[in-house]
Amino acid sequence: MAGQTDMELIKNGIRMDGRKPDELREVKIVAGVLDNADGSCYLEWGNNKVYAGVFGPMECHPRHKQKADRAIVQARYTMAPFSVNDRKRPGLDRRSTEISYIVSQAFEKVVMVEDFPKASIRVDMQVVEAHAGTRCAALTAASVALADAGIPMRDMIPSCAAGKVNDVVVLDLNKEEDNYGQADLPLAIIPSTGEVVLLQLDGHLTPDEFEQAMDLATSGCMELYKKMRHALENSYGGKA
Amino acid sequence: MAGQTDMELIKNGIRMDGRKPDELREVKIVAGVLDNADGSCYLEWGNNKVYAGVFGPMECHPRHKQKADRAIVQARYTMAPFSVNDRKRPGLDRRSTEISYIVSQAFEKVVMVEDFPKASIRVDMQVVEAHAGTRCAALTAASVALADAGIPMRDMIPSCAAGKVNDVVVLDLNKEEDNYGQADLPLAIIPSTGEVVLLQLDGHLTPDEFEQAMDLATSGCMELYKKMRHALENSYGGKA
Amino acid sequence: MAGQTDMELIKNGIRMDGRKPDELREVKIVAGVLDNADGSCYLEWGNNKVYAGVFGPMECHPRHKQKADRAIVQARYTMAPFSVNDRKRPGLDRRSTEISYIVSQAFEKVVMVEDFPKASIRVDMQVVEAHAGTRCAALTAASVALADAGIPMRDMIPSCAAGKVNDVVVLDLNKEEDNYGQADLPLAIIPSTGEVVLLQLDGHLTPDEFEQAMDLATSGCMELYKKMRHALENSYGGKA
Amino acid sequence: MSNDSVSNLMKGHMESLAKEGKRADGRGINEYRKVKIEIGMISTAEGSAMVHLGKTKVLCGIKMLIGTPYGDSPGSGTMTTSTELAPLADQSFDPGPPREQSIELSRVVDRGIRESRMIDFDGLCIEHGVKVWMVYIDLHILDNNGNLFDCCTLAAAAALSNATIPNIQHGIADKDVKLPINCWPISCTFGKLGDSVILDATSDEESVMSARFTVAHDENGNLRAAQKGMNGSFTDAEIREAVKTARASDNVLREALKGIQE
Amino acid sequence: MSNDSVSNLMKGHMESLAKEGKRADGRGINEYRKVKIEIGMISTAEGSAMVHLGKTKVLCGIKMLIGTPYGDSPGSGTMTTSTELAPLADQSFDPGPPREQSIELSRVVDRGIRESRMIDFDGLCIEHGVKVWMVYIDLHILDNNGNLFDCCTLAAAAALSNATIPNIQHGIADKDVKLPINCWPISCTFGKLGDSVILDATSDEESVMSARFTVAHDENGNLRAAQKGMNGSFTDAEIREAVKTARASDNVLREALKGIQE
Amino acid sequence: MSNDSVSNLMKGHMESLAKEGKRADGRGINEYRKVKIEIGMISTAEGSAMVHLGKTKVLCGIKMLIGTPYGDSPGSGTMTTSTELAPLADQSFDPGPPREQSIELSRVVDRGIRESRMIDFDGLCIEHGVKVWMVYIDLHILDNNGNLFDCCTLAAAAALSNATIPNIQHGIADKDVKLPINCWPISCTFGKLGDSVILDATSDEESVMSARFTVAHDENGNLRAAQKGMNGSFTDAEIREAVKTARASDNVLREALKGIQE
């Protein structure tokens, strides 16, 4: 968050990419795109492009990570070297490690882990093109892939960010807004209960703006949730 | 392979180091040079200098690499930092890893691995001076070391390269020929059956040239095979 | 050891920091400073500042390091990035690895390792400010922490260095003396038997100077030993 | 009794206490443990601080080196935060790299400091596009008795407030000056214990709680960074309530931080 | 029945099929699966391509950066090839580094592209001995159903043919130009199944075959790279025959590659 | 009989031999095995030597590169020592990194060479503060039959004495010159076997001894480096006696080293 900037990112209530403050970028979700994975999803969100694949429940490696009374979720978020303008070095950096970790924990709340003692459920998220909001995109795609794999879950987890640009609270920052904006708040919720399973914040929000951002991100998650279910229905339809 | 070059590497059918196109560099092989290893070999091939040592069959580490029905061969090819003009950083680089891997697989074809379930046979090749053709030199030395160790084998594996310089197919490239030549084709065969267990190619060969290179490399392997057996006989004689 | 220098480090038998040749820097030892550790010690020695903490005897990880008939001591010496003028990169470098290794071995001589088969005793030494002599400081602190943890030992191990500056053998080099001096000889002994469990030497000593340095370092160890016992008595007193 | 049974008993006990607004150590659910800050104890560091939060103890040292700026911010200094979970601090801290937890901790502390603009990064530019000060914040956990997030953020803030730019040593100017500080971020971390939410959890409480929520405010009461952690959840209402509680409760830490500047 | 028995049954079945010139999926022994190439889907890459070979799916992205040339070729650009065996592509791809297989794959693909002189490295020189373009070929395996060698080489060639030198972004010239391509290498990979040799093996076939042989030809029908892999062997005659078969069979892939350039 | 029983029998046997001043291989307790030094066998190295100490065999190669000096010694060249415990040398040398033992060995050899000022580091300065020669000493253990410390130090000294500064290749001067050598350090290593102290232990002796002591002397009989290793101890008297013995016994190695310079 650069924070202070003279850049005009909103003009007459319309953002540079033509969206209103409470509008999502276009989202396209396709379930079941990979043959080998037990479940998979391809998601485009604005210009973000993400693949997610799921294997499991399977034996947990390394052994010392096994839990006697439940499965663990081993999520792994990586960005392709060509997914950003400057080439990213392959492998897990500190940012990817943190995201992988908090996403793993978010899923352990909704997956019926207690049904699969000692097992592992592997969730692999590959960001192949990145334009702000990739962790929300990856988490959303992974939820669909888990459902596509038939992994028992309490619910899916939609994830969406709210943010602040030019002192206005907006939904789903695009790349310029992320670079020159004032705050970014990615959120993931369990739609059926409203529980918060992922929340981060970078930037500057007054207490009132925080409340607005929570409201906006929550409504973004609910909108996304519809698209996720729609994608799964299409997929089942297609398979039938 | 630089490929296009004005450098005259062959003149009147004679190469810069005085060899004819189908002539090997000088090869000296001594078996049983190390005391600790179960079998060992020191090999000079032109200016290349290589030590090979073998331990085993022994318990396989790490455990997860064990095979229930056979032994595995764990070959390791490394170059000493001082073996080349520019100091090489110690440890396995990508090239050494690839060579170690394909050499391990070549030996699994000839070693009686089915006689030693769960075991490992360790083959360590140390290149202490390098002047083109070190993978062939290392593989050849390792064969002798395996025989010296008394490891049951279907046959030894001689290895030799053919190549192309100044549009002529030649045997056993030296360093200048490797740097400025047009193709390099290292080959390893099982002499008793003629089977190919290692083959690589870099560069440019017409279909006809490929056939010639295969013929030439094969005859090089057979010539080497004699030297290998001779070295082992000397060694047994010496020990008796 | 820079060795040759024009720098006058001793003048009229008095060192730059006011000490006599056979005088230790000020040493302050406090046992039991940490709550979580089974035993701990904070030590200031001149401007050196070291924390030592001990856990164990506990199950030994990794398993393959277990000894069937005794415990092992896993000592780990590290320097904080801010402990020196130029920032030190975090993690174990070669120097820290060597010190950790020889300190582990020194303690295996005095800890009753045979009483705890298969176990591990962990000794962690954190140098948070460094001004020459940190390995002696860390080893001394670790001895106190082991005693504070109630780990059965034959004796504690005081450690102190002698050295040579301006051709004079002196006790306990400070930073300038270490940088511009001629020799450094860290020593650790078992006071009750006089056995040497750690000895290193860098620099230049004549045979006579070596004898003097051994005498001086030994007397330094004995002086330190009193301070160590005093610190433990204070600690027990404080706890009672 | 097995470890699990003990743990379940402890969990039950702590949850019922929390339901009544109580804690095992006698505190209220939104009450911090005693905090103590010392500064300037490490002479090799450009700034240093030791923070005691109950029995949790963190030492922070600041080093400043000269380097080149990032391409996308040629006029700004840089900042790097790392945490060392020293094995002496906790039996469960393996000498091997405890990557994920340690990285999450470093990154959350880093965001609290960075996003609050505590440090004036533009003031760390020596030569535009060529030379800037690089600030290294190294956190050494010495004793882990819970709530490392708040203790580390506090230690970092205190050490930064104690820091001096070493102009003389690096030949930049003939006078050393204090590192310029814009504002004071304070991090407050909550735990979900059964159906209750508690502030400043101890290690025992952490071992039985299901979710963690950290929020950092600046001194104007605005939010600067937040992080939900662990594999449990908070309700939307709990999150919003926690943020308000943080603003009401962080004065204890803020006072301690002010204390060292006088 | 144990896994081994199943595997032995499958092996026997596939070997007898191959002996009759047949495959489990109905193909002939020297027939490729259906191939499909898409290009330009990644806007952050200088070039990109997705190749579907049957159910095998590989995404390739090209990045171009500016760097210094190697001492022994001061007038030439450089090229680096890496493969990511993403865990989502195959249950057996561990998140940990699957070093050897991945390195062999990268190096064989690299040799096919490099030795064919597909890229005009001298055309990538910006300032002799000082500044050259560095081409990064990053291959992302998304779905592994066999024959990664040919699919990756094809994806790399397609992505390179789609690539543009980013002169404007790096201030080198005021126009971006296509990456100059000299020729088109095609890699053909054979498997030894019992006593038969088959082209373009599926994962199932790979799991029971004993040896692998890859050969890359340029568009003039000359050999540019080859590699024998796995712990089985080929007879001399099988190798020479495979090379001829490759020249006769690679037109399927060559056509697909040409298709994208129109 | 179990391995441990065999080992205990061997230990007892060797200890009683040593008590009588005898060794299993017939040597006296302060007697070196036969030593043989060859030099100059590696033409790609700036200097090289192979040392045979009994059946222990170490190959050392010297490489010299041009680099920048350290900030605190702008007028001095640098030196780096590394040891490769090649798996072919000993069944117990794992291909994985045998870190601690190898690092101790490298560092003790390094100190012996460095602290003796064998190399004239100031003579390795090419341009003050800018360009110096970096000397790399790489030790390849080929056969480990005990006492690597002395064998490696001897191999390093012999290879250095064989080394030439590659001025021509690096365009520094039009003549290559010998690396200037100031003096000759010799390392002597003792083992504690029961209550006896023996010189130049074999692998068998090393496997049953409890402590190791290495001391390096220069040719004037002054001490330059020392190291006590392993988890046993020496008495103060044993250490002092060993130092005297070293001065009396190191002439065997010193003569061998002189031999190669003639």
Tens-digit pLDDT profile for residues A71-85: 999 999 999 999 999
D65 touches C at CB < 8 Å: yes
Confidence of residue C239 (pLDDT cuts 50, 70, 90): very low
| Residue C5 in this model has a pLDDT that exceeds 80 | no
Q: Which residues face D141 on adjacent strands?
A: D58, D85
Bond from prior residue into B152 cis (ω within 30 degrees of 0): no
How much is the CA Rg of chain C, to the nearest whole Å?
A: 18
User: Which residue has 């001689």 as its token pair?
Assistant: B158
What average pLDDT does the segment F223-249 reach? 97
- Which stretch of E94-98, E236-240, F31-35 has the lowest confidence by average pLDDT? E94-98
Interacting residues of E17 by C-beta distance below 8 A, sequence separation 6+: E23, E24
Contact B201 E227 (CB under 8 A): yes
D233 CB neighbours in chain A (<8 A) are 109, 190, 195-197
Contact A109 D233 (CB under 8 A): yes
Residue C137 has a pLDDT of 98
What average pLDDT does the segment A231-238 reach? 80
Integer angstrom CA distances of residue C64 from C59, C72, F229:
12, 12, 22
Residue E71 has a pLDDT of 86
Burial E44-68 (b: 16+ CB within 10 A, else e): bbbbbbbbbbbbbbbbbbbbbbbee
D222 CB neighbours in chain A (<8 A) are 204-207
Residue A240 has a pLDDT of 37
Average pLDDT, chain C: 94
pLDDT tens digits, one per residue of F160-211: 999 999 999 999 999 999 999 988 899 999 999 999 999 999 999 999 999 9
DSSP annotation of B118 reads: T
Q: How far is E41 from chain B (nearest CA, A)?
A: 30
CB-nearest to A199 from D106, D224, D226 is D226
Q: Which residues face C65 on adjacent strands?
A: none
Give the residue with greater pLDDT, F4 vs A176.
A176
| Residue A57 in this model has a pLDDT that exceeds 90 | yes
Q: How far is E168 from chain B (nearest CA, A)?
A: 31
What average pLDDT does the segment E39-57 reach? 98
Contact E229 B200 (CB under 8 A): no
Residue C3 has a pLDDT of 56
DSSP annotation of F121 reads: G
Q: What percent of chain F has pLDDT over 90?
A: 85
What average pLDDT does the segment B33-61 reach? 96
Confidence of residue D98 (pLDDT cuts 50, 70, 90): low
DSSP annotation of D204 reads: H
Q: What percent of chain B has pLDDT over 90?
A: 88
Residue E262 has a pLDDT of 64
F48 touches B at CB < 8 Å: yes
Residue B239 has a pLDDT of 47
Contact D41 C49 (CB under 8 A): yes
- Which stretch of B68-82, B144-158, C4-18, D137-151 has the lowest confidence by average pLDDT? C4-18
Which domains, ranges and CATH numbers included, belong to chain A?
18-235 (3.30.230.70)
pLDDT tens digits, one per residue of B5-22: 668 899 999 999 999 999
pLDDT tens digits, one per residue of E95-129: 665 588 999 999 999 999 999 999 999 999 999 99
Length of chain F: 262
Confidence of residue B240 (pLDDT cuts 50, 70, 90): very low
Q: Are D112 and D58 in contact (CB under 8 A)?
A: no
Q: From the CB coordinates, do chains D and F have 3 or more pairs under 8 Å? A: no
Q: How far is A129 from chain E (nearest CA, A)?
A: 6
What average pLDDT does the segment F217-228 reach? 96
Which domains, ranges and CATH numbers included, belong to chain F?
27-261 (3.30.230.70)
How is residue F80 written in tokens? 């780096």
Q: Taking CA atoms, what residue in E is nearest to A53?
A: E88
With CA atoms as reference, report the closest residue to B102 among B217, B190, B202, B198: B198
Contact E63 A122 (CB under 8 A): no
Please give the Cα distance from C52 to D89 (Å, whole number).
Answer: 10
Answer positive or negative: Cα dihedral of F175, F180, F186, F187: negative
pLDDT tens digits, one per residue of E66-85: 999 998 899 999 999 999 89
Residue F9 has a pLDDT of 85
pLDDT tens digits, one per residue of C134-190: 999 999 999 999 999 999 999 999 999 999 999 999 999 999 999 999 999 999 999
Contact C196 F231 (CB under 8 A): no
End-to-end CA distance of chain F: 52
pLDDT tens digits, one per residue of E186-201: 999 999 999 999 999 9
E109 touches B at CB < 8 Å: no
Please give the Cα distance from F42 to F52 (Å, whole number).
Answer: 16
What average pLDDT does the segment A68-73 reach? 95
F174 touches C at CB < 8 Å: no
Residue A239 has a pLDDT of 47
Confidence of residue C131 (pLDDT cuts 50, 70, 90): very high
Q: How far is B51 from chain E (nearest CA, A)?
A: 23
Average pLDDT, chain F: 93
What average pLDDT does the segment D198-216 reach? 96
What average pLDDT does the segment C193-219 reach? 97
Q: What percent of chain A has pLDDT over 70?
A: 96
Residue E237 has a pLDDT of 97
Residue D96 has a pLDDT of 59
Q: How far is F17 from chain B (nearest CA, A)?
A: 24
How is residue D56 written in tokens? 């949790």
Q: From the CB coordinates, do chains C and F have 3 or more pairs under 8 Å? A: yes
Residue B234: exposed, middle, or buried by beta-carbon count in 10 A (0-12, 13-18, 19+)? middle
Q: Are F226 and F234 in contact (CB under 8 A)?
A: no
With CA atoms as reference, report the closest residue to C37 among C125, C105, C104: C125
Give phi and psi for A109, each to the nearest 5: -75, -35
Q: From the CB coordinates, do chains A and D have 3 or more pairs under 8 Å? A: yes
Q: What is the dihedral of CA F7, F12, F15, F21, to 10 degrees?
A: -120
* CA angle (A91, A92, A94) in 5-degree steps: 145
| Residue C110 in this model has a pLDDT that exceeds 80 | yes
User: Which residue has 């082209």 as its token pair?
Assistant: E199
| Residue B238 in this model has a pLDDT that exceeds 60 | no
CB-nearest to C195 from F101, F225, F235 is F235
Average pLDDT, chain E: 93
Residue B5 has a pLDDT of 61
| Residue E46 in this model has a pLDDT that exceeds 70 | yes
Please give the Cα distance from F159 to F119 (Å, whole number).
Answer: 12
Give the residue with greater pLDDT, A167 vs B90.
A167
| Residue F95 in this model has a pLDDT that exceeds 80 | no
Q: Are A199 and D226 in contact (CB under 8 A)?
A: yes
What is the three-class DSSP state of D55? coil
| Residue D203 in this model has a pLDDT that exceeds 80 | yes
Residue F4 has a pLDDT of 67
What average pLDDT does the segment E16-42 reach? 95
pLDDT tens digits, one per residue of A17-48: 999 999 999 999 999 999 999 999 999 999 99
DSSP annotation of C91 reads: S
| Residue D130 in this model has a pLDDT that exceeds 60 | yes
E221 CB neighbours in chain B (<8 A) are 207
pLDDT tens digits, one per residue of D41-84: 999 999 999 999 999 999 999 999 999 999 889 999 999 999 98
Q: How far is D46 from chain C (nearest CA, A)?
A: 8
Average pLDDT, chain D: 93
pLDDT tens digits, one per residue of B101-135: 999 999 999 999 999 999 999 999 999 999 999 99
Contact A199 D247 (CB under 8 A): no
pLDDT tens digits, one per residue of B133-184: 999 999 999 999 999 999 999 999 999 999 999 999 999 999 999 999 999 9
Contacts B–F by Cβ distance under 8 A:
96
Residue D178: exposed, middle, or buried by beta-carbon count in 10 A (0-12, 13-18, 19+)? exposed
Q: Are E51 and E148 in contact (CB under 8 A)?
A: no
